[in-house]
Amino acid sequence: MKRIALLGMPNTGKSTLFNRISGASARVGNWPGITVDLMSAKILLGGHIAELVDLPGLYDLHGFSDDEQVVRHFFANNTVDLVMIVLNSAQIDRQISLALQARALGLPAILLLNMRDEARRAGITINVEAMSKQLQMPVVLISAKYGESCPQALQVAAQNLDRQHASMSPEQIAALLQQDSSIEREMESIVKNAVQMPAQLTDQLTNKIDRVLLHPWFGLPLFFAAMYLLFQFIFAVGKPLQDGVAWLLAGLRTEALGPLLTGAPAWLQGLLLDGVFNGIGTVTAFVPIIVLFFIIMSIVEDSGYLSRAAFMMDALMAKMGLDGRGFVMMLMGFGCNVPALMGTRVMRSRNLRLLTMLVIPLSLCSARLQVFLFLTATLFTATQAPLVLFSLYLMSFLTIFLSALIFKGRYASNEPFILELPPYRFPTLQQIWLRGWHEVRHFLNRATKFIIIGVVLVWILTHVPGNVPPASQATLAGMIGSWLAPVLTPIGIDGQLAIALLFGFVAKEIVIGAFAVIYGLQGDALMHIIAQKLDWVQGMSFMLFTLIYTPCLSTIAVLKSESKSMAFTLLSIVWSLVLAWVISFIFYQSARALGF
């Protein structure tokens, strides 16, 4: 099998090209010589079956940041038949150095100049033949976003797959670090001979929008207002979809699964219907809202607005020992903490990475979002629910800022913040669809790995021993709840909620499934019983604790692998538990003291 490496600088559309080529077949795997997982996909290219590997975005093959080391180690330890170098056509004068560095490695390569549409709008023309001749490698102008010339690029890649090359050792790669000055001179020569650029690059639309969105006084309020309106939209559109999925699941249980299990033993019916089906079904009902959330966030992210949010937040983040990139990582954490933690590799300072990794798990991830969507819909009106959810996002930011202020002295860093603001873009329908599909598949993977096991264990704890009422004090769950009562009672969390929190440590999606198993209900019936047992103060305290307390096992595993420190991982776990209890305690006791 042939192996193709996709190499490029950040924000050049490399991931967009990877998604277009791989479709929905991408997977994550580990590779010899490196300590992190990379995305790859098997594709049919010409007469070859090839594995396409998406390498981390980087600016320099000769640097020593984590992402640069990952790429160098990959080339030093793995046979690569072709390197597809992706650069931004509109910034070719600053990015051509990466192609020269890759050529110096002695690997067969083709250069894909992406974003040809943006270069065209900026008045940039590139003589592909002249550049190809001087670089001694094929050059193709493409637009990964719109698919322009992508088939041609793949055809060129297929034609170059049979070239032979000699892998270089780490010592040889290190020797290449001495060639920087010659690469700089050759880069200037290539741009001079093959690229025509206007005296001044302008994008009037981008400039007009930035005058409003980057306003020194109104920029941040506009950003948070936009986020709030997005939450309102997600609730308004997602709630009917959620109700439709819940109705379908209820019909499936009543019309199909119930009659099918009529002759089965009572314990098996309870396990499969009240345990597995209720647990998985309750979580599944929230998938439409989660997918909608990711689709909306992908539009915001791909539009270039998040980069501007990082720019606006940098001055504030610097006061807390962080930078604008950390803010972007936190926003990524709203989707999932795991890729956000891995994204900190772009930071060269270890202290800055550690401080950013310490606060990312406090971001309100999509798994927690499922819990909050369920409880806000249960305990609050349709008018109140978006405000409550928005307040939880604000609390997420507050806990992040507080934690950073407390620990910035321990993880002090002076790394400068450099950010290039891309022009405003709008993702294509294919990009949006692929993002939504990846999130559905991610949910299904977690369902098979964690949620089914979690709800089965919750069912066992709430039904053993079998001669007592389910979920009562005499069951295993009741005993665990009684044991945790001295700690959780002061924050309004009873024994049944404690069991849900306990399994939320494995995966936060299990929390809703645990509710369904504990109460033996789903859908509207489950929401009704919870509304009877909890008032809004208890519900809010529970959500605050869920927001802040220990991240899921996947996040903890990535914290350990990325930090390479068990002491740091334990600090993250203990700090989040202590902070969650203190904030929930202050809220619950204050609300009760005020008569709520």
Per mean pLDDT, which range of 101-105, 265-269, 547-551 is the poorest? 265-269
The reported pLDDT for the residue numbered 299 is: 76
Q: Are residues 374 and 235 in the same domain?
A: yes
Comparing 283 with 53, which gets the higher pLDDT?
53
Model confidence over 324-342: pLDDT tens digits? Answer: 777 777 877 776 777 678 7
- 83 and 4 in contact (C-beta within 8 Å)? yes
**Of the candidates 161, 196, 231, which is a domain's last residue?**
196
**Of the candidates 162, 196, 230, which is a domain's last residue?**
196
Q: Are residues 44 and 186 in the same domain?
A: yes
Model confidence over 454-512: pLDDT tens digits? Answer: 677 777 887 788 777 776 778 887 888 788 888 999 999 988 788 888 777 767 777 87
Q: Are residues 232 and 157 in the same domain?
A: no
Average confidence (pLDDT) over 148-159: 89
Q: Are residues 157 and 242 in the same domain?
A: no
Per mean pLDDT, which range of 124-138, 280-294, 578-592 is the poorest? 280-294
Task: Say if 239 falls within a structural domain.
Answer: yes
Q: Are residues 184 and 248 in the same domain?
A: no
Number of residues that make up the chain: 596
What b/e readout covers 125-134, taking b as 16+ CB neighbours within 10 angstroms?
ebeeeebbeb
Give whichever of 16-25, 122-131, 161-170 has the largest mean pLDDT: 122-131
Pairing of strands 38-45, 48-54: antiparallel
Residue in 167, 183, 175 with CA at minimum distance from that of residue 60: 183
Is residue 344 predicted with pLDDT exceeding 60? Answer: yes
Task: Say if 556 falls within a structural domain.
Answer: yes
Q: Are residues 226 and 191 in the same domain?
A: no
Q: Which domain holds residue 178?
A: 2-196
CB-count burial class (<10 Å; 0-12, 13-18, 19+) for 476: middle
The reported pLDDT for the residue numbered 512 is: 79
Pairing of strands 109-114, 139-141: parallel
**Of the candidates 147, 163, 196, which is a domain's last residue?**
196
CATH code, domain with 79:
3.40.50.300
Q: Are residues 86 and 126 in the same domain?
A: yes
Helices then strands, counting H and E runs in the chain, come out as 29, 9
Q: Which helix (H) or strand (E) holds 6?
A: strand 2-8
The reported pLDDT for the residue numbered 324 is: 75
Could you give the percent of the chain with pLDDT greater than 70?
Answer: 82
Model confidence over 34-65: pLDDT tens digits? Answer: 545 678 888 888 778 888 988 888 877 776 56
Domain count, the chain: 2
Per mean pLDDT, which range of 109-118, 374-383, 513-522 is the poorest? 513-522
Q: Are residues 149 and 277 in the same domain?
A: no
Task: Say if 447 falls within a structural domain.
Answer: yes
Is residue 353 predicted with pLDDT exceeding 50? Answer: yes
Task: Say if 491 falls within a structural domain.
Answer: yes
Task: Say if 423 falls within a structural domain.
Answer: no
Task: Say if 153 falls within a structural domain.
Answer: yes
Average confidence (pLDDT) over 249-277: 79
Q: Are residues 181 and 235 in the same domain?
A: no
CA distances, 237 to each of 284, 339, 349, 381, 520 (Å): 17, 27, 42, 16, 29
Distance CA 502, CA 361 (A): 17
Q: Are residues 265 and 177 in the same domain?
A: no
Rounded mean pLDDT of the chain? 79
Task: Say if 311 falls within a structural domain.
Answer: yes
Average confidence (pLDDT) over 288-313: 73
The reported pLDDT for the residue numbered 180 is: 53
Q: Are residues 170 and 241 in the same domain?
A: no
Give whichever of 28-32, 88-92, 357-361, 526-530 has the largest mean pLDDT: 357-361
Give whichever of 134-138, 158-162, 163-167, 279-283 has the largest mean pLDDT: 134-138
Q: Are residues 326 and 191 in the same domain?
A: no
Task: Say if 214 falls within a structural domain.
Answer: no
Taking the CA atoms of residue 531, residue 532, residue 536 and residue 540 in that order, the dihedral angle to the nearest 10 degrees is: -70
